[in-house]
Structure 1
Amino acid sequence: MTSTCPALTGALLLAILQAWEVCMELTIEFDREDDGRWIAEVPELPGVLVYGVTREEAEDRATALAFRVLAEQIEGGAIHSRQTKTVCFA
């Protein structure tokens, strides 16, 4: 006896992929201090606020810190890795 698997239709396949692919969208907000330093903050993750000499450096530091915070939250059980298959910075 052989088992058969029904063909996945386009709509069903799309629904499965959408359920699997979860994108956590994070925003990086920028500001500039009077002394010229750049501040980058990810408001969705409390405490993710960094300084940089340039905007690009501040963005890189904010991105790195955001990933560290997410890793700690996953390791600590605050969020599950299946909730964060993709992280998008807007």
Structure 2
Amino acid sequence: MTGYVVVVERDEAGGHSAWSPDLPGCVAAAADYDECVQLMREAVALHLEGLREDGTPVPAPTAVASLILPAA
């Protein structure tokens, strides 16, 4: 199964934000992780719907894997 990579980051205030490298401008932010992920799911769906409605090509996902490396 292929899909879009979403990066979720914690901000200095303890909230979370998310973005996707394949979908510029598609972002979400929330006070907690779970809400941020849910909002990003909705944002991706709306973003793709908007691209289709505008007749803009939908970019193919580029990720082949994801991982988290330990901090040095």
TM-score higher than 0.5: yes
Identity fraction in percent? 18
Which residue number corresponds to residue 53 of structure 2?
75
Provide the aligned C-alpha RMSD in A.
2.3
State the AA in 2 paired with 1:63: R
Structure label with greater radius of gyration: 1
Q: 1:30–1:40: 8 Å Cα contact kept in structure 2?
A: yes
Q: Residue 34 of structure 2 aligns to which amino acid in structure 1? A: E
Number of residue pairs aligned between Structure 1 and Structure 2: 61
**What is the CA-CA distance between 1:24 and the residue it aligns to?**
5.7
Structure number with higher helix proportion: 1
1:47-58 to structure 2, matched below 5 A, reads 47-58=25-36
Aligned partner of 1:9 in structure 2 is: none
Gaps of 5+ in 1: 1-22, 85-89
Distance 2:31 2:2 in 1: 28
Instruction: Provide TM-score, normalisation by structure 2.
Output: 0.71
Alpha-carbon deviations, 1:38-68, whole Å to 9, x = none?
Answer: 1111121111121111111111111101111
TM-score, normalising length: structure 1: 0.58
Higher-RCO chain (CA-CA 8 Å, sequence separation at least 6): 1
Equivalent pair of 1:42/1:62 in contact (CA under 8 Å): no
